Structure 1
Amino acid sequence: MKMFSKLQTLMATVLVTTMSVSLVSGVVSPTKVFASSVSGPDDPREVEQFADEFFNQSEIKNNMAGASFVVVKGDKVLFKKGYGYADVEKKIPVDPDRTVFRVASVSKVITATAVMQLAEQGKIDLNKDVSAYMGGARIPNKTGTPLTMKHLLTNSTGFDFGDTSDGSTTDLKREVPLKKFVMDNLPNVIRKPGEFYRYDNLGFDIQGYVVEQVAGKPFGEYVQERIFKPLGMENSDFRLTSIVKELAVPYNIIGQPIPTYAMVPTELPDGGMLSTGSDMAKFMIAHLNKGKLGNETIMEEETAAEMHRPHLSVHPKLNNMALGFEYANQQNYNGQYVIEKAGDLQGYHTGMWLIPEEKVGVFVTVNKDYEIRIPLIKAFMDHYYPKNEQKKGVFELAKQELTKFEGTYSDLRNRMWTTRIRAEGGKLIVKDSLGEHVLYEVEPLLFQDEQGSKAAFKLNDHGDVRAFYYELKSDSWAEKMPEPQRYQDVENDHPYASYIYHLRQIGVFADMEGDNRFSPEQQITKGEFVGWFIKWSGIAPSKHKPIYTDLSGNKYAREIQSAYELGLLKASADGKFYPNEPLTRQEAASIVWRMAFGYLHAEPKKAKLSGRTDAWALEGVHFVVAKGLYGPEVVKGRDGSLDYKSEQLMVRKEAAALLSRFADQLF
């Protein structure tokens, strides 16, 4: 899952490239119960009845813009149909044969297929150091373990960052070569490759660059020649060509159209593909039929089988990655073996599920920031492959047996996603942005919650807990964090201590210099707040020339540029940012709101405010107050109103409270 910019992949994708539950606002939870069919999809008319009933539910029909839905079985398209509108204003209906959507990170399986074609030809060794295919470029790696193409294919690179800030542009004429993008964003390997799972957009862009280097032609040209043309995918491309005429208009969560945008780089291997439902049906059929569609073969049977089997798992019974495909919604598989890929961009959200043993594929894509994929696949699986109710035994263990799992876990992809685990009454209590959950052990290191979602722990060679994975946040493992060092000037009973130490523990300001003082009452500067915010998000600091002219020598210059590229900051009339100026509380609230609305698809909120707030900051202050993203400095008045003290300068303890509470209440 690559979003509008890559942060959106990062976040909505929080975020939901992965979506084991929907993590974006606007999720639909249909109450419609569909009669089950134990034979799987077979009759096109019956499949149409299922699809019509699902998409015609009032909650979906009244909130969705448009969708293209496809089901294939064997070597045939069993069903394809458009629902709603490609252009709401012009009332242009979705046509699965003609309407083009951005399929976002579903692009990754096309990129992975290209890599596997070259591996099949002996031109790429999946277990060889990837530097052999990088045209002289080197990815810094001091772990002692070579980074291989297989690590890239399984999201186990060990990179310091997998998401960058420069992901899209409204300048449709801008041309950014893939080579330049990769060279500008070369990561560092900081963890042993193959040891940790973390969704990695940059890793797939590097795969596309390797395809260019090995094939001796641009990535997009290679894919056209070796995948799209053989399969007859005439309305698919990795760049905005003439097919833009049929591109569905994207809409945000409140139904506003989003201007047409291009990707950066122009041919983006991790998320830039445009396609139709009919074209994606052909791709699914080829994968399900041993690499063949009719008389065309895009890969050998053994290659397809290799792509579809598990290659990375947190536990033998809880898989994470095949090659390019994921296992993100396993709690909805009902015992079937399913591989999948989801994708998210601004205004476009796509899901693809393959059931290789049944030769069944399902594809859906929509053109509004409104989440229907999880309810759809759940309804589909419950209808065609009902769950065989075989309850596994669960065990309540003595607290001392569970103590080793207690602690704070920081997500390896999204630092703001914090999981806190404690042992209680023979079970584990997990608290994260989605609330509290109870985990029961079903076998060593494998747990299951009250809804059937699984979780597992990974140990290191010494038997200590190394990582945690939970299906409800399925794009990354989380790393167990040591207790944070204490500041001299922040006692444990300080009213802001929990917020300050939360952020220090997850590395937002773990590298502070000086005499180990936090200075909680000190005013925070604009630069420092943005620096904290980007570290909190997990986005890579930008390597581009700063847009603002007054950042030379500033320690947060790269983070400020990232925030600008993500749309969290605006250009100024004089071209300056004034990073050393103090930050007002309403300025901080506005940055948070831009993140929430632009990347988490949060809807505007209203709070009962008192005191003065500038008009330009009202949406942000309303959101922050309504969500309770503040510390003890904000108190409720007798009439129930809250004065956010918008025009006051923010101090460091208040900034810590804002980010800490935002992390704990992302959704």
Structure 2
Amino acid sequence: MKATTELRSVIVAVLFGFLVVCVFVSHSIHANLASERHGQKVAIDESMSKIELTGLEQYVDALIERGIAQHTIPGVTVSIVKDDKVVLLKGYGFSDVSSQKMVNPRTTLFRIGSITKTMTAIAVMQLVEQGKLALDVDINEYLTEFKIPDTFEEPITIAALLSHRAGFEEADAGNLLSSQAEEVLSTSQYLVTYMPSRVWPVGYNMSYSNYGFGLLGYLVELKSGLDLATYMEQHIFSPLGMHNTTLREPLGSEATSMQRALQAHLATGYFKDTVGRNLAKPFEFIGHIGGAGAVSATAENMALYMRSLLQERRGLISPSTDSVMKQRLYDDRALATGVVHGMFEGNLRGYKYYHHSGATLTFSANMVVFPEIQLGIFIASNMVGGAAQLADFLPRAILNKYYKSLPIQIDESPQLGAYNQFMTAPIVKRKLEEYTGSWLSTRRSYSQLEKVSALDSSVIISLDAQGQLVMRRLGSHTKFVLKRLKENVFQAQSEKGSIFYFYPDSSGEITRFSASMWSGDYEKVSLSHSPFFFYFVMVLASLLSLSTLLLTSFQKRRAKTHHIFKKVTRIVAGLLLLTVIGFIFMNSGLVLDEYNFLINFPTLEVKLLLCLVLVIAPLTLVKVVGLAYIWRHEESGMLYKIHYSMFTLSCFSFLYVFWVWNAIGFNYVN
């Protein structure tokens, strides 16, 4: 018995010793691997820091000059920062074509549009540091002159606004920009007058919102006691030496207007008309919602700003706050579009970057910073369209030329303290058919006339002949296959490998998705509410209207008299065709003045066109009354009776789709 006990003790001791040795060896291996990985990272960092952008100026010159020639861009300004140094600062073309005034990157001010939002976010976080604002507090606790309606149980917070997750619809057509200084409202007046509806619970969808950042700018004013332009000057621009940057606009008043010295160096904005001419346009005012996009700046000053962003926003906030600002406030889509305190994040060739683009109707800009390789790129032009494409292309082209691809490593673990409010559902094995359908961007109007602009943003997901899930935009022949990575997560086999997260509703049905390439989520819509159905009804109603005019014209020659219903039918057919033609022209941008159409929407021509729809409505009711008469009238042939009935039904469908897209009603008259 004693021998057995001793034997057991020896065995236990041996096993214990073996376990200790295994743990030690395992720890050594992991330590060596970690050291090796760290060594690799250090080696990568060192190799990246040693990269010299040889021939950068010549390379950028060639890209910009080719873009200017291809898109007839008036002027471009560029600044590039590397390792805390400005390695390229240059202007191209004209800041004003008529006077042949050249772009000077040190003195010429360009509108940077929504890049302003990145500055507004910093201003907010400065006040958070001071304890004057809090990320998770209901913003109604700060608002005094007005309140945001409690449409949903969850209150809107600063965290939601910084992440574009407040749930606002987009309703800024015709009021975001103004060409007249006297039309500019105070920020509080604008926020009250043009308050969009809350259409989603807080955190549910990501939908880019100018109004949301207008609110953030207003909160900065309320809690700092300064107007936003003054606050930016004192707490962001001056500390960084950005003396040629301003949130002010040429309003005429000496007290609040942009300094005359800066006004003299403003680039003229240009709008390309339907025949390709660049038309000079007046200054676009956006000061009433300045926190969303009112800044004007030089490329040199934007280089100073990028240097600060690459160095933990030095001179503006503490390193700990900078670290917070690089983290998402919502953790439900690690691989898809991420907004980190007013900036979008992503990966390009394996390098993490933060960026924001900006645009008005006459200016476009883009800013991208890569902290790992200490590279920042800013580009702006005094035109949109092709210039915006160039602004998006330049950073990618530079990285593709000078940096080798690294494997993308993404940590999907939830972030500490994240505001995770997205809807969850049990994991089930889904058929690909469940992801098919017609989808519309959540960045659209739901209650206003401008909802019709979403007709061009539809996405169709279907199965191809091989049974693969395929995505394409309505009206586009370009499509790409979605490959399933895991439950409800797909990756595009093109579109730069974008990731798509699909979400089920409370019943388990897939109803929306988010992507890593668009500034908003997408929701599934029924066939009757889809753009496809709208265009189908338009085409069908047009064909029946045309055939009605031909048929009644033929009958008019044979009959001496016509009853009232046939006359009404001809009138409705003519009005419907006129409406369709007018809609096609407006949807194609073929209007009397496209710039005026966009900045003053809805214009008089829009209102007149929609009045035709209002006239068609009562006349359609007359046609319904005439159905009984037509079917009883013995002289009318069967073909005419069927055609009359089909045309009447198409008129109802026509009115229905215009109602669905908010184009019937009096909301566009005011």
Q: TM-score, normalised by structure 1?
A: 0.66
In 2, the alpha carbon distance for the partners of 1:131 and 1:526 equals 49
Please say if residues 91 and 105 of structure 2, whose CA atoms lie closer than 8 Å, have aligned partners that are also in contact: yes
What letter corresponds to residue 566 of structure 1 in structure 2?
A: N
Please say if residues 245 and 298 of structure 2, whose CA atoms lie closer than 8 Å, have aligned partners that are also in contact: yes
In 2, the alpha carbon distance for the partners of 1:566 and 1:530 equals 21
In 1, the alpha carbon distance for the partners of 2:124 and 2:543 equals 45
Could you tell me how far 1:75 is from its partner in structure 2? 2.6
Equivalent in 398, 411, 418 of residue 441 of structure 2 = 411
Could you tell me how far 1:216 is from its partner in structure 2? 1.2
CA RMSD of aligned residues (A): 4.2
Return closer, same or farther for 1:144/1:117 CA change in 2, 3 Å cut-off: same
Name 2:32's counterpart in structure 1: none
In 1, the alpha carbon distance for the partners of 2:102 and 2:194 equals 40
Could you tell me how far 1:532 is from its partner in structure 2? 10
Name 2:334's counterpart in structure 1: 316
Could you tell me how far 1:400 is from its partner in structure 2? 6.4
Return closer, same or farther for 1:352/1:193 CA change in 2, 3 Å cut-off: same
Name 2:463's counterpart in structure 1: 423
In 2, the alpha carbon distance for the partners of 1:192 and 1:527 equals 41
Return closer, same or farther for 1:138/1:526 CA change in 2, 3 Å cut-off: farther
Could you tell me how far 1:191 is from its partner in structure 2? 1.3
The 5-angstrom pairing of residues 365-514 of structure 1 reads 365-369=380-384, 370=386, 371-388=389-406, 401-414=431-444, 415-416=454-455, 417-424=457-464, 425-433=466-474, 434=476, 435-451=478-494, 452-456=496-500, 457-472=502-517, 474-484=518-528, 496=540
In 2, the alpha carbon distance for the partners of 1:65 and 1:528 equals 37
Ranges in structure 2 where 5+ consecutive residues have no aligned partner? 1-45, 250-257, 411-428, 445-453, 545-570, 589-595, 617-642, 644-649, 662-670
The 5-angstrom pairing of residues 78-97 of structure 1 reads 78-97=87-106
The 5-angstrom pairing of residues 157-556 of structure 1 reads 157-161=166-170, 163-240=172-249, 241=258, 242=260, 243-253=262-272, 254-266=276-288, 268-292=290-314, 297-312=315-330, 315-327=333-345, 330=346, 333-369=348-384, 370=386, 371-388=389-406, 401-414=431-444, 415-416=454-455, 417-424=457-464, 425-433=466-474, 434=476, 435-451=478-494, 452-456=496-500, 457-472=502-517, 474-484=518-528, 496=540
In 1, the alpha carbon distance for the partners of 2:443 and 2:235 equals 33
- Counterpart secondary structure, 2:365: strand
1:122 equivalent in alignment to 2:137 = no
Please say if residues 526 and 582 of structure 1, whose CA atoms lie closer than 8 Å, have aligned partners that are also in contact: no
What letter corresponds to residue 458 of structure 1 in structure 2?
A: Y
1:153 equivalent in alignment to 2:184 = no
- Counterpart secondary structure, 2:395: helix
In 2, the alpha carbon distance for the partners of 1:89 and 1:53 equals 25
- Counterpart secondary structure, 2:118: helix
Please say if residues 197 and 320 of structure 1, whose CA atoms lie closer than 8 Å, have aligned partners that are also in contact: no
Please say if residues 38 and 385 of structure 1, whose CA atoms lie closer than 8 Å, have aligned partners that are also in contact: no
1:132 equivalent in alignment to 2:141 = yes
Please say if residues 190 and 288 of structure 2, whose CA atoms lie closer than 8 Å, have aligned partners that are also in contact: no
Q: What percentage of residue pairs aligned between the two structures are identical?
A: 23
In 2, the alpha carbon distance for the partners of 1:432 and 1:659 equals 24
Return closer, same or farther for 1:126/1:523 CA change in 2, 3 Å cut-off: farther
Could you tell me how far 1:291 is from its partner in structure 2? 2.1
Residues paired across the two proteins, number: 497
Ranges in structure 1 where 5+ consecutive residues have no aligned partner? 1-36, 393-398, 501-519, 538-561, 586-632, 634-649, 662-667
Return closer, same or farther for 1:468/1:267 CA change in 2, 3 Å cut-off: closer
Could you tell me how far 1:440 is from its partner in structure 2? 1.6
Deviations 1:17-60 (A, max 9, x none): xxxxxxxxxxxxxxxxxxxx983795466322321232233764
Higher RCO, Cα 8 Å, sep 6+: 1
Could you tell me how far 1:284 is from its partner in structure 2? 1.3
Please say if residues 173 and 599 of structure 2, whose CA atoms lie closer than 8 Å, have aligned partners that are also in contact: no
Return closer, same or farther for 1:115/1:105 CA change in 2, 3 Å cut-off: same
Could you tell me how far 1:349 is from its partner in structure 2? 0.4
Deviations 1:295-345 (A, max 9, x none): xx2111121222222334663222321110014xx5x71111111100111
Please say if residues 579 and 613 of structure 2, whose CA atoms lie closer than 8 Å, have aligned partners that are also in contact: no
- Counterpart secondary structure, 1:54: helix
In 2, the alpha carbon distance for the partners of 1:532 and 1:151 equals 37
Name 1:547's counterpart in structure 2: none
In 2, the alpha carbon distance for the partners of 1:390 and 1:298 equals 31
What letter corresponds to residue 279 of structure 2 in structure 1?
A: P
Normalized per residue, the structure richer in helix is 2
Stretch deviating more after TM superposition (205-214 or 455-464): 455-464
Could you tell me how far 1:464 is from its partner in structure 2? 2.7
What letter corresponds to residue 443 of structure 2 in structure 1?
A: R
Please say if residues 39 and 384 of structure 1, whose CA atoms lie closer than 8 Å, have aligned partners that are also in contact: no
Structure ID, larger Rg: 2
Could you tell me how far 1:445 is from its partner in structure 2? 2.7
Deviations 1:373-428 (A, max 9, x none): 22212211211333347999xxxxxx962121112211111332211212343421
Q: TM-score, normalised by structure 2?
A: 0.66
Return closer, same or farther for 1:412/1:266 CA change in 2, 3 Å cut-off: closer
Please say if residues 174 and 602 of structure 2, whose CA atoms lie closer than 8 Å, have aligned partners that are also in contact: no
- Counterpart secondary structure, 1:438: strand
Please say if residues 542 and 576 of structure 2, whose CA atoms lie closer than 8 Å, have aligned partners that are also in contact: no
In 1, the alpha carbon distance for the partners of 2:481 and 2:409 equals 17
Equivalent in 64, 72, 82 of residue 81 of structure 2 = 72
